[in-house]
Chains A and B, each alone.
Chain A
Amino acid sequence: MSNPALETIQKEIDNNDVVLFMKGEADAPMCGFSSMVVQVLRHTGVEFKDVNVLADNDLRQGIKDFTNWPTIPQLYIKGEFVGGCDIVREMYESGELKGMLEANGVKTA
């Protein structure tokens, strides 16, 4: 039996260069960690699709199963799972995030 939540996740990361599965929305984050990643992405000047996992419990659990990663937020670039808040912040501070985006042909500020 296929899992619609996993299909939704796959579709989002296939159809958007940068996807952030988060608690709340980019304009109204509902958790400090999610808010932190939104700010990092905004500072980097990259467009991204925000997906509010609080709006759908299957999605909230599905995203954790999808990557075997127990927490939210989760950032994807070109279909690849990049990490949660800690990793994204570390990559931002080291410049790796911008490098990865540009290496994947994603426009940044």
Chain B
Amino acid sequence: MAMDAKTIENLIHAGIPDADVRIEDLRGDGDHYAAYVVSPSFKGKSRVQQHQMVYNALEGRMGGELHALAIQTSLPKE
């Protein structure tokens, strides 16, 4: 069962309220997305911790319902 981009975006927003989120559908099959997440909350966190914040926002769907989500996290440009 695939997911749509808007659901992914909403979940990440709910989990990381101050995030700027852009979802890209890589293959148009509803199963392979890229998520570009910019948030001040990432400050001082390692890449692993930043990605874990995104995974936690997805409430366990990653790897099950959502097969492939490439994640790129970054801090807002100062």
Contacts and interface: CB of A to CB of B under 8 A. Distances in A.
Interface string A64-93: 100011110000000001111111001100
B52 A69 contact: yes
A54 B70 CA distance: 21
A86 B70 contact: yes
Main secondary structure of the interface of B (DSSP, over half): mixed
B55 A87 contact: no
B22 interface: no
Contact of A64 (B48, B51, B63, B71): B63
A68 B58 CA distance: 13
Nearest to B72: A86
Which of A68, A85, A87 counts the most B-chain CB atoms under 10 A from its CB? A87
Interface string B25-48: 000000000000000000000011
Given A33-B68, A85-B70, 16 more contacts: A64-B63, A68-B52, A69-B52, A70-B62, A71-B62, A81-B48, A82-B48, A83-B48, A83-B51, A86-B51, A86-B72, A87-B47, A87-B48, A87-B51, A90-B47, A91-B47
